[in-house]
Structure 1
Amino acid sequence: GLPFTEPDKVVGAAHLGQSGVDEWASALLQFAGGIVAELSCSISLDQDNVLRIFGTKGRIEVPDFWFAGGNRDVGQGRIDLIRAGHARETISVNETRHVYSFEVDGAGEAILAGRQEFAWPGMSWADSLGTLRVLDKWRAAVGLEYEIEKPAKRLNTIVGRPLRTDGKAIGKRAIPGLPKPTSVVALGFEDFRTFSSGSILLDAFFEAGGNLFDTGYVYGAGYTETLLGHWLRNRGVREQSVVIGKGAHSPLCYPDVIGKQLAQSLDRLQTDHVDIYFMHRDNPDVPVGEFVDAMDAEVKAGRIRGPFGGSNWTMERMDEAIAYAERTGKQKPGALSNNFSLAEMLEPIWAGCVTSSTDDWKAWLTARQMPNFAWSSQGRGFFTDRAGRDKHDSEELVRVWYSEKNFGRRDRAIELANRLGKSPIHVALAYVLAQPFPSVPLIGPRTLDELEDSLRALDIKLSPEDVAWLDNGPERRRA
C-alpha cells in the first residue's frame, strides 16, 4: 500500500577504473517481506537492458525498460508475461514519443498546478531522496568517492563560500574547567561515513553557533574522529571548537588503554589535545584511583585540557573517584556523560549504560553542580509519534521507556507543546536544558532538517515550575 519503500540492507561491488569512475557496479537490495532486488550497470560491459521481476508463478520482463516504447530507435516497447504452463503473453506499448518528453509534460503540469513535485505515478521528493540514500549506501559499499568530494578539495561550504563564524542561533555557556565557552548543545555525527556528507552537517551546526563536537574512539570504527579531524583542519576552526573525546569502552576498559587510545584519537583528530575527555564505560573490578591516575597523567601531559570524567558511571564510583583525587592531589573528575531525559530509562539501552534521570541523581548533580553531557536526551523517539500506549512495534521503546510515569510526562510534554506551537520533542530537549545544574544535551541529527528541527527547542525557556510540572504534574499549567 505504500507509494515506495526503501531497502533495509544494501551491499555492492564495483570495478573502479583509472579515473576513479565505477566502470561496472552491482548491488543487492534487501527489502522487508523477503523481497530481494539485484541491480547492475556499466559503461564498459555489454549488458542486456532487461528488467526482470520474478515471482512464485512466473516472471515479467521489460526489454529496454529505459525507454518502454518511447524511443523510435528501439522500436515498439513491450512487456512480456511468462507463466509456467502458459504461452508467453506480450503487452505492446504503442508509443512513439521519447520517454523524456513525458517528464517535461509532467513538470509543466505540476508548475501550472502550483505543485513542486510530480503527481503520482511520478516520483515524489520523498521517493527521489530515498533513491539518493540508496545510491549513497551503494557508493559507500564499493568505496566510490570522487576527488571533488575529498577534504583536500572541499574547502568551502556546500554553497561555495567560506565557513561563517558569527552564528547566534545556538547560544553559548560556560562549563567549569573549560577556558572557552561552549554551545548549549553538542553535535554527535557518528552515522556519517564520507567527508562530503558529514561536512554539510558540521558546517550548518557551526554556522548556527555550535562549537561542541562529540566523538568517541569506537564511533564509526574511528571514522567519526577522522571526519572531524579533516573538517577542523580544512575549515581552520580548531581553536574555536570544543572537542569531546571518549575512550576505554568495554571490553578494553583498563587504565593503560586510556593513553594508547587517546594517542590514536588525537592522530585521527589532527590535534594535540581534546577539550573534554570521558571514559566511555567503567570497570568496577579496577580500583577507581587507577583510572583517575591515568586521566590525570593525560592532563599533565597536555593532551586533556579541560574536565574529564566518566560516561555511564554510577554515582558511587564518581563519588569514590572524586574523593580519591582530593586525597591525592590529582585533578578531580569534573564532568559526567550519562543518559538524561524527561523520560526515565527503565532498562539500559545497551549493556553497561547508566541513566541520571532519577530524583537521586538530579539531587546529586545539583548539589555538586556537575556538568552532565546527556546522551539520548530526547528519549530516542519516545516523544514522537513512534511511541504511544497502543503502539508496541519497537521492542526498544517498549522495553526502555514504557511506563505510566513516562507516559504521564509525555502527555504533559504534548500539552505544553500544543500551547507553544512546538512539538513534544522540542519540549523534551528544552527540559534537559532547563536543569538547575550544567546540562548539555548531545543531539545526533542525520539531516539538515533534523538539525533545524532540534534547534527549534532553543526558543523554549522553561521555568523551574515548568520543569517540576513536566516531571510530576498535575496542577501546574503554563498560562
Structure 2
Amino acid sequence: MTSTPLLRWGILGTGAIARQFADALATCKRGRLVAVASRQPADGLADCFGGVTVHAGYAALLSDPDIDAVYVATPHPGHAEWAIRACEAGKHVLCEKPLAMNVPEAMVVADAAERAGVVAMEAFMYRGHPQTRRLIDLIAAGAIGEVTLIQAAYGYHTDVAAGKRHFDPQLGGGAILDVGCYCVSMCRLIAGVAAGKLFAEPVELQAQGHLGPTGVDERATALLRFPGGLLAHMAVSITTVQDNSLRIYGTAGRIEVRSPWFCSGKTGGIGTIVLTSRSGAVETIEVETTDWLYALEADLFADAAATGAVPWPAPGPADTIGTMRVLDDWRRAIGLDYPCERPGRRETAAGRPLRRPVDAPMPYDDGLGLGKPASRIVTGGMALKSFPLAAAVYDAFFEAGGTMFDTAYVYGQGEVDRLLGQWLRSRGVREEVVLIAKGAHTPHCRPDAIRPQLMESLDRLGTDHVELYFMHRDDPSVPVGEFVDVLDALVREGRIGRFGGSNWTIARMEEAKAYASRNGRQGFDLLSNNFSLAEMVAPMWEGCIASSDDVSVEWLTRTQTPLFAWSSQARGFFTDRAGRDRHDDPVMVNCWYSETNFARRDRVHDLAARLGVTPAQVALAWLLVQPHPVFPIVGPATLGELRDSLGALRVRLTPDQAAWLKSGESR
C-alpha cells in the first residue's frame, strides 16, 4: 500500500492568519509548506515561516511548479482575484473567508475552479473540527427534538486606527464580512441538518446595523426565517465584545456551544457541547483532539484535492454561494456596499483588463454587415439586478467571444440599459460590441415615441448610437410607413444601424419592406420573435408573436431574414423546470405544455444523454443549424446558466439529428 504524497502548500499573504496557518501546517498529516509570497518581502520573512521559499509577488508563487495548493490569506478584496488566478494556474485553492466580496465574485471563483479542474474551498476552519461533526450528529439524531430557534454571536473589540483593515471600506472592512460569515454559515448548516439536508436557505431576512464614521458596519444584527418557521438570530461586531457562542433551541431541549468558531482551541484541546433537556437535566459532552485547528482544515482540504470534491460538512461551492447571498442581503438591508463593487473598475474579478481569446469558440455571422464580429449567441440582461452580477456575466460572455448585447427601454424600468452602460464604460469595450436596443412598447407603440425613448436609452447606455434597433411591439392601426419614416431618419442621423420589428407579423414585415422600397427608405430587415424547438402554445405576454410554425420558417428560409430569437430555450422547458408531472409554474404550463412539445423534449433528453451534454445545450444547438440565420437570445441569471448556454457551442448537430429532434423522423 503506497502512501498519499503530501500536499505542497504555498501561502499568498504574510499576515497574522497566514502565520497561524503556516504554524498549523507543520503539525498536519497530509501537507507541508513549500513557499509564501509577499508583494514586498521584508528581510527575515523566510525565518518567520520556517525557512521556506519567499516569492516576491503573488504571481511568482502561482508559477512555482512545486506548489500543489494555495492558501489565499490576502485582505478581503483580494480573495476572489487571487483564488481565480490560482485556479487558472492549476492550483487547488483554500481561500480565507469570505471567499469573495459578493455572490457574483463567488460565482466567478467557482466557475474558474470548475473550468480548471481544481478544487476551491472557503476556509471555515470550524467545519473540519470533530466538535462540529458531533454537533451535527446530535441535531440529526433529534437530541433536542425539532429545532425551532438558533442564536449565533461573534463579536470582538478592536480600536479604530488609520489604515486598519477592519474599518477600511477599500479593504472590505466591517463586522458582517469579517465575522458575520461565520454566523450565517453555521445557521445555514444547522437549519439544513434539522431539515435532513446539507444546508438550508432562508426565505426571509430582517436586519439592522450601525455604520461607523468610516462607512463600514461596526455592529449588526439579522433575523433569518427558514422554511418551516425555524428562526435564526445573529449578532456580530468589531467594536463590541460578545460571548461568541452558539445556542440551538428545540422542542425537547437546547444545546449551547461555548466555542463554536475555534472549538477546542487553535492548538488542540477539549471542546464542550452542553445539552439541556426540557426538564432541566444537563449533559456536558466533551470533544477532545490533539490536532491543531487549522491542521484539521488542511488535512480535510487534502481529501478534497485528492478526490476533486469538497467533503461535507466543509462548504462546497453551492454552500459558499448560499452563505454569500445572505451576506449580500444583510449588507443591502443596512445600506452597505464597497468601492470595489461600484461601476468604474476597469478590471474583471480576476484583477485584469477584459480580454477575448483569439481562439474563443463563438461562431460569428458576417451577414449583418456591421463592420465588426456579430456573435451568433446574444446575451440579455433582464435577470441581472446589480452591477457586480451584470459585470460577472457580461465579462464571461465577452471573454467567450460574445459581442451581441440585448436591452430594451422598458426592461427593469431602464435599469438594464443603465447596468449595461455602466459595464461598457467600466470595461472600455464599446467599439468591440454590438448593441441591440428596443423601444415603442405597448402602450407607447407610436411613431412619436420612438425617438425620445431611443435618446433616453442612448443616454443610459452612455453611447450615441446602437448597431441594431427593434420596435418592441407593433400597432397595426398605425400606417406602417409612419414607423419606417421615423426609423429611416434615425439611420440617416447615425443613431441606429439596421432595424426591424420584435413581435411583428410576417404580413406587416412585408408591408414595411414594400413601403421602404417604393419610397427610397431603409426597410425592416430584422425580426425578433419567439423561436424555439418548443413551439409557444399561448403568448407569454400580450402582443407576443412566435415564428416557429412552418409558414414562418418557410418565409424566414426564403428571405434569409435574420431572426433574433427570444425565449430561445423556451424559458427552461427542456430543463427540470418542466415535466409532464410538474404544474407548479402556470406560465410554463400555459405557454409550452403540449404533447408535441413533450415529445420533442423527450427526444432532446435522449440525445443529450447520448452526447454527454445538457438538454438545454441540445435545444440551443438546434437553433444554430437552421436553414435561416438565427441569433438566439439567452437571459442568464447566473454565471452557471451562461456557461450552460455557451456549452451549446460544443454540440455539433447533424441535419438528420436536427430533423429528428423536431419531427421524430430523420431527413
User: Of residues 119, 123, 135 in structure 1, which corresponds to 2:315?
Assistant: 123
For the residue of structure 2 that corresponds to 1:454, the secondary structure is: helix
The CA distance in 2 between the partners of 1:215 and 1:354, in whole Å, is: 18
Match of 1:231 in 2: 423
For the residue of structure 2 that corresponds to 1:216, the secondary structure is: coil
The CA distance in 2 between the partners of 1:15 and 1:277, in whole Å, is: 47
Say if 2:409 and 2:417, in contact at 8 Å, map to a contact too: yes
Say if 2:659 and 2:666, in contact at 8 Å, map to a contact too: no
Say if 1:78 and 1:90, in contact at 8 Å, map to a contact too: no
The CA distance in 2 between the partners of 1:38 and 1:316, in whole Å, is: 61
**2:460 maps to amino acid:** R
**1:398 maps to amino acid:** V
User: Of residues 197, 209, 212 in structure 1, which corresponds to 2:401?
Assistant: 209
User: Of residues 625, 632, 640 in structure 2, which corresponds to 1:449?
Assistant: 640
1:191 corresponds to 2:383: yes
The CA distance in 2 between the partners of 1:387 and 1:469, in whole Å, is: 21
How do 1:362-373 residues align onto structure 2 when only pairs under 5 Å count?
362-373=553-564
Match of 2:482 in 1: 290
1:269 corresponds to 2:269: no
The CA distance in 2 between the partners of 1:128 and 1:162, in whole Å, is: 26
Match of 1:280 in 2: 472
Match of 1:349 in 2: 540
Say if 1:373 and 1:440, in contact at 8 Å, map to a contact too: yes
Q: Number of matched residues?
A: 467
Deviation at 1:261, TM superposition (A): 2.0
The CA distance in 2 between the partners of 1:65 and 1:350, in whole Å, is: 55
The CA distance in 2 between the partners of 1:257 and 1:248, in whole Å, is: 6
Alpha-carbon distance change, 280 to 139 in structure 1, aligned in 2, over 3 angstroms: farther
Alpha-carbon distance change, 289 to 44 in structure 1, aligned in 2, over 3 angstroms: farther
**1:7 maps to amino acid:** P
The CA distance in 2 between the partners of 1:35 and 1:300, in whole Å, is: 62
Deviation at 1:415, TM superposition (A): 2.9
Match of 2:216 in 1: 21
Deviation at 1:12, TM superposition (A): 4.8
Match of 1:428 in 2: 619
**1:261 maps to amino acid:** Q
1:458 corresponds to 2:653: no
The CA distance in 1 between the partners of 2:211 and 2:584, in whole Å, is: 41
Alpha-carbon distance change, 52 to 459 in structure 1, aligned in 2, over 3 angstroms: same
Alpha-carbon distance change, 160 to 401 in structure 1, aligned in 2, over 3 angstroms: same
Task: Give a deviation string over 1:79-108, Cα, whole Å, max 9, x none.
Answer: 57585xxx445443545779x955641441
Structure 1 residue runs without a partner (length 5+)? none
For the residue of structure 2 that corresponds to 1:446, the secondary structure is: coil
Say if 1:76 and 1:92, in contact at 8 Å, map to a contact too: no
The CA distance in 1 between the partners of 2:495 and 2:225, in whole Å, is: 45
Task: Give a deviation string over 1:7-43, Cα, whole Å, max 9, x none.
Answer: 3455655444443313344445454445555544343
For the residue of structure 2 that corresponds to 1:239, the secondary structure is: helix
Say if 2:343 and 2:387, in contact at 8 Å, map to a contact too: yes
Match of 2:574 in 1: 383
Say if 1:309 and 1:335, in contact at 8 Å, map to a contact too: yes
**1:126 maps to amino acid:** A
The CA distance in 1 between the partners of 2:432 and 2:399, in whole Å, is: 12
TM-score for the superposition, normalised by structure 1: 0.85
Deviation at 1:342, TM superposition (A): 0.5
Task: Give a deviation string over 1:397-438, Cα, whole Å, max 9, x none.
Answer: 322222111122122222332333322222111111111111
The CA distance in 2 between the partners of 1:316 and 1:248, in whole Å, is: 19
The CA distance in 1 between the partners of 2:386 and 2:564, in whole Å, is: 26
How do 1:164-175 residues align onto structure 2 when only pairs under 5 Å count?
164-167=355-358, 168-175=360-367
1:329 corresponds to 2:520: yes
Alpha-carbon distance change, 475 to 241 in structure 1, aligned in 2, over 3 angstroms: closer
Match of 1:309 in 2: 500
Q: Is the radius of gyration larger for structure 1 or structure 2?
A: 2
Match of 1:6 in 2: 201
**1:471 maps to amino acid:** K
Alpha-carbon distance change, 247 to 12 in structure 1, aligned in 2, over 3 angstroms: farther
Task: Give a deviation string over 1:249-298, Cα, whole Å, max 9, x none.
Answer: 33443333322222221112111111111222334454443333332332
The CA distance in 1 between the partners of 2:382 and 2:314, in whole Å, is: 34
Say if 2:568 and 2:634, in contact at 8 Å, map to a contact too: yes
Alpha-carbon distance change, 418 to 109 in structure 1, aligned in 2, over 3 angstroms: closer
How do 1:402-417 residues align onto structure 2 when only pairs under 5 Å count?
402-417=593-608
The CA distance in 2 between the partners of 1:283 and 1:26, in whole Å, is: 53
The CA distance in 1 between the partners of 2:650 and 2:492, in whole Å, is: 40
The CA distance in 2 between the partners of 1:256 and 1:40, in whole Å, is: 55
The CA distance in 2 between the partners of 1:254 and 1:211, in whole Å, is: 30
TM-score for the superposition, normalised by structure 2: 0.63
Match of 2:326 in 1: 134
Deviation at 1:349, TM superposition (A): 2.4
Say if 1:28 and 1:36, in contact at 8 Å, map to a contact too: yes
Deviation at 1:46, TM superposition (A): 6.9
Alpha-carbon distance change, 82 to 285 in structure 1, aligned in 2, over 3 angstroms: farther
The CA distance in 2 between the partners of 1:126 and 1:262, in whole Å, is: 40
Alpha-carbon distance change, 3 to 186 in structure 1, aligned in 2, over 3 angstroms: same
User: Of residues 429, 432, 443 in structure 2, which corresponds to 1:240?
Assistant: 432
Match of 2:238 in 1: 43
Say if 1:413 and 1:470, in contact at 8 Å, map to a contact too: yes
The CA distance in 1 between the partners of 2:639 and 2:610, in whole Å, is: 26
Say if 1:170 and 1:209, in contact at 8 Å, map to a contact too: yes
Tell me how large the CA RMSD over aligned residues is. 3.2
Percent of aligned pairs sharing the same letter = 51
Deviation at 1:341, TM superposition (A): 0.8
User: Of residues 335, 340, 343 in structure 2, which corresponds to 1:151?
Assistant: 343
The CA distance in 2 between the partners of 1:14 and 1:253, in whole Å, is: 46
Say if 2:259 and 2:271, in contact at 8 Å, map to a contact too: no
User: Of residues 160, 178, 182 in structure 1, which corresponds to 2:370?
Assistant: 178
For the residue of structure 2 that corresponds to 1:199, the secondary structure is: helix
